[in-house]
């Protein structure tokens, strides 16, 4: 969650998303006018390629597959983001070489909402590309980034947490916020966020300073 498209954010905060027993929907009077959502859908999905090949018979990345239910992960992400960001402010970062996989799924989406890269160069260049674009469109934008290959048990709880994060970013323009969930086991295949001091609590979770990041730590470190 970036405070604004042109800000020089100098502090990273961690927003602890609770389980599905918290509030299940954001407030109805929330102001969406300054919010933008960037859905990151340009990845190759290599870690699950053997599974997606069995499901689809081709090499499509996992975000274009229906792994849980009838919706693809990208379709689930778009639906989830629509709860907290106006449809006209939802951008999709895509890769040209995947066009045959996403063309039908995104039929009807305005071309102005599609940011298509010629090649996938990872998340950081995709984020920089989208922020450069948004800086020319809305210099006061509050920007949230949403990977398109995640699954959430409770879309409602997720929407509450994202709305709280947007509101915090609106009040504190010099902060970047990360949303995280407490792990159930010492998983080594993901990046970890080590929280620092708790700053305050909200209906959607607690906000902490970030002490440090651990990228794919060893099992002993993860414990």
Q: What CATH number has the domain bearing residue 213?
A: 3.90.550.10
Residue 1 covered by a domain: no
Using an 8 Å Cβ cutoff, are 39 and 92 in contact? yes
The number of folded domains in the chain is 1
Using an 8 Å Cβ cutoff, are 126 and 95 in contact? no
Residue 169 covered by a domain: yes
Residue 59 covered by a domain: yes
Residue 4 covered by a domain: no
Residue 213 covered by a domain: yes
Distance (Å, whole) CA 20 – CA 29: 22
Distance (Å, whole) CA 82 – CA 17: 19
Q: How confident is the model at residue 47 (pLDDT cuts 50, 70, 90)?
A: confident
Whole-structure pTM value: 0.85
Residue 55 covered by a domain: yes
| Residues in CB range of 163: below 8 A, 6 or more apart | 26, 27, 30, 84, 204
Predicted confidence (pLDDT) per residue in 203-217, tens digit = 667 888 899 988 888
What pLDDT is recorded for position 7? 46
131-156: average pLDDT: 92
Residue ranges making up the domain that contains 23 = 11-222
Residue 121 covered by a domain: yes
What pLDDT is recorded for position 145? 97
Residue 6 covered by a domain: no
Please give the DSSP secondary-structure letter assigned to residue 83.
T
């Amino acid at each position: 969650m970036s405070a604004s498209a042109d800000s020089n954010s100098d502090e990273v905060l961690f927003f602890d998303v609770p389980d599905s027993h918290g509030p299940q929907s954001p407030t109805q009077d929330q102001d969406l006018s300054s919010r933008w959502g960037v859905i990151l859908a340009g990845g190759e999905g290599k870690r699950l390629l053997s599974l997606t090949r069995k499901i689809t018979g081709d090499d499509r990345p996992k975000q274009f597959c229906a792994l849980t239910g009838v919706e693809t992960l990208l379709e689930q992400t778009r639906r989830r983001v629509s709860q907290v960001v106006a449809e006209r402010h939802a951008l999709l970062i895509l890769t040209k070489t995947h066009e045959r996989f996403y063309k039908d799924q995104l039929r009807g989406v305005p071309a102005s909402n599609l940011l298509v890269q010629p090649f996938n160069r990872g998340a950081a260049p995709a984020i920089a590309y989208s922020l450069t674009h948004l800086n020319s469109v809305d210099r006061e934008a509050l920007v949230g980034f949403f990977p398109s290959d995640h699954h959430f048990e409770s879309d409602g709880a997720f929407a509450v947490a994202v709305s709280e994060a947007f509101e915090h970013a609106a009040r504190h323009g010099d902060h970047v916020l990360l949303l995280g969930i407490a792990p159930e086991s010492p998983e080594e295949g993901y990046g970890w966020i080590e929280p620092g001091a708790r700053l305050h609590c909200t209906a959607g979770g607690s906000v902490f300073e970030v002490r440090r990041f651990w990228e794919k730590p060893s099992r002993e470190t993860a414990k």
